[in-house]
């Protein structure tokens, strides 16, 4: 069901070129099975690499014997951490200014950590030889629970760091502690709740991998890799390997889903590069599902205490939170340098409050590194979950309807741009219409009546609301960089003589349809049909520099760049047109695809005519060079702040405690909508992710640090069977600073849906006196919650 409502901006479905529903240009390739992924890359003489991983979470390496593996048929090389150390390559920087072992030298620090690798003629020979490597481990006590990490007798994990005597990773705070204390002191009502956002994994369909091809003759390294940030990776390789950037080409071909998992640089990529340099051959490394789940960037793992202060009549005064963040064995979070906790600072949500404060401590544990932005803009998912759960707890305490409480506290449209109490400047928003539309689509009052009737019959039905504001499009270079690289994006547009065009982007699609939507952005500005505009991305030799795709930043940053570069080309086209029509530029009017003389529409030249003239014979206006192309680098002045209202309806089987999501209404506002069909696809995917996190997914560990979620039999991800028909709607509040008014949307649904679902489940369990239950709300957890309250032990 799609409810469409256009409030403040145009929806150009009817226009011949530009924005609107358009089938994806990339799909004929994908639907025919002709996508070209890293594992499809086959090079002559290519060897295969397999990684030996630690079976234990914490141990000292006593010895490694590789002799049997070296003698195994087909094996070309066996490499250990000690060998890498001789070349100063055993450790590499992470994106968070920590270091991470490429191959362990002294100790292993999580189960699944890279210990050695084998290069062989084929994948099977490489894997067989792994079995022959004999490692002697001196097993140490692991630290698995973040709360244990800071105890004075906890084992020390990072003894590789000079002078390190504990497992403390970083402290961070935001907001005003004293002001918050003051509003809490005078509030009528204070509610606090402990919440856990469990460790989950982005689990993209395609696991991580690379093909490295180092050519010793010309000294050039070509690397095909599963990366969401080819340019940033190239710079890091240049720094680590000491190769100049122009001698490194990173190619990110079709990518089978990223969700933040493909932002970090993994040891496997570096191993493939080293292996190609050592053997003089191309080398492929492709991890399997278990390797992906146990060793690559996880997400969340926040233990939070949320507190909210309000007046008795439901005016929210302040929000305070204390967070214990588990960063695993190495701090592999990818976030702008100034933001070690990502954008968690938006935990004040969509509410106009008087004060807020957050204190966070992050720790090392013997678990895989990560803390990646899994389909969210750097920890926004955690922030939104915190605020939307705690607001529901307050509604419960006040005996107020959760929709009414939210409506009462929204930031009002005239308050934008709105600076939050933690310093974020929300660019634009109009929350009430979005909320009202969701309520109207849901039939909210009718649902509450139905719930009351069911409760009277002891049936368990719940209605959950979440309202979110995201901060996406990192980001302004004055505030944001990753390892010193500013987060601006380049973009280049070339119009060929016959009026076809190619736009080169620094961002990289992992399934979001960039080949279509970026062609639409350019088409809208310059009037060339999207089918005539080729989008090139994911190849550092052939695209301008930029920081990559994550945190829904493509549209806010590169989307703006694409619009502006097209305008630049149009400006040049206007001058050429003035020469062709022999009038001054001021006398020309632009109508999508052509310039005509003002007042004389019959005298016109199309953009295709102009392209031919730009490249053809004859004079051009004075000072104008031939060709029709431009390049820019766009530095966003602010983030964009999309918002949304989600309503979830669940039924719980009182006999089995199984939760069924019966309905889910999602109203998103991402400003100007480029391709509504793609947006719906993004929202459907994100909502499905949300069902997974809320009800099914958790990367758990036993007390020895064994990962219990190492396969998709153990780590449950949702399928179409677990999700309802999504009901989507939208409002449109353009971003005032984005050239086309667009805000990001790729991750909104992943951010907004978990609290809506948990709020619905808790609402269903109200008759048992339940006020909170932690994700994932599996039948056993829901059962425990019901029993805990209904039949106290």
Residue 137's nearest CA partner among 52, 54, 51, 53 is 54
Residue 50 pairs in a beta bridge with 118
Residue owning tokens 């419960």: 396
Please give the structure tokens belonging to residue 236: 């890091």
3-class SS at 179? Answer: helix
Helix (H) or strand (E) holding 322: strand 316-326
The smaller minimum CB distance to ligand CDP, of residues 340 and 744, is found at 744
The smaller minimum CB distance to ligand CDP, of residues 681 and 724, is found at 681
Residue owning tokens 């399934």: 511
CA distance 693 to 198: 9
Contact between residue 775 and residue 711 where contact means Cβ atoms under 8 Å apart: no
CB of 373 vs ligand CDP, minimal distance in Å: 11
CA 94, distance to chain mean position in Å, is 18
Please give the structure tokens belonging to residue 528: 């060339």
Please classify residue 778 by burial: count the beta carbons closer than 10 Å to its beta carbon, then call 0-12 exposed, 13-18 middle and 19+ buried.
Answer: middle
CA distance 66 to 202: 34
CA distance 593 to 579: 17
**Strand intervals (E) in 653-791:** 659-669, 726-730
Report the interface residues with ligand CDP, using CB under 6 A. 512-514, 517, 549, 552-555, 670-675, 678-679, 682, 742-746
CB of 512 vs ligand CDP, minimal distance in Å: 4
3-class SS at 467? Answer: strand
CB of 736 vs ligand CDP, minimal distance in Å: 14
CB of 3 vs ligand CDP, minimal distance in Å: 17
Contact between residue 132 and residue 69 where contact means Cβ atoms under 8 Å apart: yes
Please give the structure tokens belonging to residue 611: 């392209």
CA distance 286 to 427: 42
CB of 424 vs ligand CDP, minimal distance in Å: 18
CB of 681 vs ligand CDP, minimal distance in Å: 8
CA distance 595 to 223: 44
The smaller minimum CB distance to ligand CDP, of residues 391 and 667, is found at 667
The smaller minimum CB distance to ligand CDP, of residues 226 and 675, is found at 675
The smaller minimum CB distance to ligand CDP, of residues 552 and 604, is found at 552
CB of 559 vs ligand CDP, minimal distance in Å: 6
CB of 377 vs ligand CDP, minimal distance in Å: 9
Contact between residue 262 and residue 206 where contact means Cβ atoms under 8 Å apart: no
The smaller minimum CB distance to ligand CDP, of residues 26 and 697, is found at 26
CB of 111 vs ligand CDP, minimal distance in Å: 31
Residue owning tokens 């509003």: 183
What is the number of other CB atoms lying within 10 angstroms of the CB of residue 224? 27
CB of 644 vs ligand CDP, minimal distance in Å: 12
Contact between residue 327 and residue 150 where contact means Cβ atoms under 8 Å apart: no
Q: How many residues does the chain have?
A: 793
Please give the structure tokens belonging to residue 4: 């469409």
The smaller minimum CB distance to ligand CDP, of residues 506 and 675, is found at 675
The smaller minimum CB distance to ligand CDP, of residues 49 and 203, is found at 203
Residue 120's nearest CA partner among 132, 135, 105 is 132
Residue 552's nearest CA partner among 420, 642, 684, 427 is 642
The smaller minimum CB distance to ligand CDP, of residues 354 and 669, is found at 669
Helix (H) or strand (E) holding 591: strand 588-591
Residue owning tokens 């640089």: 265
The smaller minimum CB distance to ligand CDP, of residues 428 and 555, is found at 555
The smaller minimum CB distance to ligand CDP, of residues 142 and 551, is found at 551
The residues, any chain, with a CB within 8 Å of residue 503's CB and separated by 6 or more, are 491, 492, 493, 518, 519, 522, 533, 534, 535, 536, 562, 565, 566
3-class SS at 584? Answer: coil
Please give the structure tokens belonging to residue 417: 């741009």
CB of 730 vs ligand CDP, minimal distance in Å: 10
CB of 582 vs ligand CDP, minimal distance in Å: 39
The smaller minimum CB distance to ligand CDP, of residues 430 and 672, is found at 672
Please give the structure tokens belonging to residue 96: 């968070």
CB of 344 vs ligand CDP, minimal distance in Å: 20
CB of 515 vs ligand CDP, minimal distance in Å: 9
The smaller minimum CB distance to ligand CDP, of residues 496 and 673, is found at 673
Residue 254 pairs in a beta bridge with 37
CB of 695 vs ligand CDP, minimal distance in Å: 24
The residues, any chain, with a CB within 8 Å of residue 620's CB and separated by 6 or more, are 576, 579, 613, 614, 626
CB of 683 vs ligand CDP, minimal distance in Å: 9
The residues, any chain, with a CB within 8 Å of residue 628's CB and separated by 6 or more, are 494, 495, 569, 572, 573, 576, 610, 611, 614, 615
The smaller minimum CB distance to ligand CDP, of residues 349 and 671, is found at 671
CB of 385 vs ligand CDP, minimal distance in Å: 20
CB of 563 vs ligand CDP, minimal distance in Å: 11
CA distances from 146 to 142, 151, 168, 303, 710 (A): 11, 10, 10, 8, 20
The smaller minimum CB distance to ligand CDP, of residues 211 and 472, is found at 472
Residue 91 pairs in a beta bridge with 101
The smaller minimum CB distance to ligand CDP, of residues 207 and 517, is found at 517
CA 609, distance to chain mean position in Å, is 42
| Nearest-CB residue for ligand CDP | 746
3-class SS at 595? Answer: strand
């Amino acid at each position: 069901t799609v409810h469409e409502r256009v409030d403040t901006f145009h929806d150009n479905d009817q226009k011949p070129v530009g924005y609107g529903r358009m089938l994806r240009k990339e799909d004929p390739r994908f639907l025919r099975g002709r996508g070209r992924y890293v594992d499809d890359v086959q090079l002559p003489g290519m060897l295969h690499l397999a990684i030996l991983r630690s079976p234990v979470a914490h141990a000292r390496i006593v010895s490694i014997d590789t002799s049997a593996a070296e003698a195994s048929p087909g094996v070309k090389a066996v490499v250990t951490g000690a060998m890498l150390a001789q070349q100063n390559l055993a450790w590499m920087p992470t994106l968070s200014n920590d270091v991470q072992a490429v191959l362990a030298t002294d100790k292993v620090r999580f189960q699944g950590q890279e210990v050695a690798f084998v290069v062989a003629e084929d994948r099977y020979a490489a894997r067989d030889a792994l079995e022959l490597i004999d490692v002697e481990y001196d097993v140490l006590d692991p630290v698995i629970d973040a709360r244990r990490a800071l105890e004075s007798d906890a084992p020390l994990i990072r003894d590789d760091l000079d002078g390190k005597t504990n497992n403390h990773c970083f402290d961070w705070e935001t907001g005003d502690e004293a002001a918050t204390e003051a509003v809490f002191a005078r509030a009528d009502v204070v509610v606090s709740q402990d919440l856990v956002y469990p460790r989950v994994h982005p689990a993209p369909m395609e696991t991580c991998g690379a093909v490295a091809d180092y050519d010793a003759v010309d000294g050039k390294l070509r690397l095909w890799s599963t990366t969401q940030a080819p340019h940033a990776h190239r710079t890091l390789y240049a720094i680590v390997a000491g190769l100049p950037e122009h001698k490194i080409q990173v190619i990110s071909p079709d990518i089978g889903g990223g969700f933040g998992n493909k932002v970090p640089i993994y040891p496997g990529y570096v191993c493939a590069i080293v292996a190609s340099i050592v053997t003089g051959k191309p080398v492929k490394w492709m991890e399997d599902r278990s390797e992906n789940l146990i060793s690559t960037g996880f997400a969340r793992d926040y233990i939070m205490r949320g507190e909210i202060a309000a007046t008795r009549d439901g005016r929210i005064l302040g929000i305070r939170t204390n967070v214990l963040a588990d960063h695993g064995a190495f701090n592999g979070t990818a976030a702008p340098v100034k933001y070690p906790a990502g954008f968690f600072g938006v935990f004040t949500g969509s509410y106009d409050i008087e004060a807020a404060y957050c204190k966070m401590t992050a720790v090392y544990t013997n678990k895989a590194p990560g803390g990646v932005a899994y389909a969210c803009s750097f920890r926004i998912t955690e922030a939104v979950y915190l605020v939307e759960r705690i607001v529901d707890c307050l509604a419960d305490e006040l005996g107020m309807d959760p929709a009414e409480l939210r409506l009462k506290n929204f930031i009002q449209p005239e308050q934008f741009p709105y600076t939050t109490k933690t310093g974020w400047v929300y660019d634009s928003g109009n929350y009430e219409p979005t909320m009202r539309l969701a309520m109207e689509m849901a039939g909210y009052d009718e649902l509450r009546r139905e719930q009351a009737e069911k409760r009277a019959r002891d049936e368990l039905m719940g209605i959950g609301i979440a309202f979110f504001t995201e901060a996406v499009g990192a980001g302004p270079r004055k505030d944001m960089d990753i390892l010193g690289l500013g987060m601006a994006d380049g973009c280049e547009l070339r119009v060929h003589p016959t009026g076809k065009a190619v736009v080169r982007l620094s961002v990289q699609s992992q399934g979001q349809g960039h080949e279509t939507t970026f062609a639409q952005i350019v088409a809208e500005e310059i009037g060339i049909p999207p089918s005539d505009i080729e989008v090139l991305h994911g190849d550092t030799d052939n695209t301008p520099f930029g920081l990559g795709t994550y945190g829904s930043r493509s549209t806010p940053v590169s989307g703006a760049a694409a619009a502006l570069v097209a305008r630049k080309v149009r400006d040049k086209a206007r001058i050429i047109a003035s020469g062709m029509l022999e009038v001054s530029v001021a006398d020309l009017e632009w109508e999508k695809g052509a310039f005509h003389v003002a007042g004389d529409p019959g005298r016109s030249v199309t953009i295709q005519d102009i392209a031919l003239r730009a490249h053809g014979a004859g004079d051009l206006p004075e000072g104008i060079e031939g060709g029709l192309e431009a390049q820019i680098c766009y530095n966003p002045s602010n983030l964009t702040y999309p918002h949304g209202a989600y309503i979830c309806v669940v039924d719980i089987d009182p006999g089995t405690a199984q939760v069924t999501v019966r309905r889910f209404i999602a109203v998103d506002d991402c400003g100007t909508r480029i391709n509504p069909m793609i947006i719906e696809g993004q929202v459907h995917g994100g909502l499905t992710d949300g069902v997974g996190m809320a009800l099914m997914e958790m990367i758990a560990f036993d007390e020895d640090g064994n990962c219990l979620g190492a396969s998709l039999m153990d780590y449950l991800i949702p399928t179409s069977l677990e999700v309802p028909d999504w009901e989507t709607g939208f409002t449109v509040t353009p971003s005032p600073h984005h050239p086309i008014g667009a805000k990001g949307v790729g991750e909104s649904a992943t951010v907004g849906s978990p609290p809506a679902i948990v709020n619905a489940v808790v609402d269903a369990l109200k008759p048992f006196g339940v006020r909170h239950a932690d994700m994932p709300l599996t039948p056993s957890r829901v059962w425990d919650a019901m029993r805990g309250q209904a039949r106290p032990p």
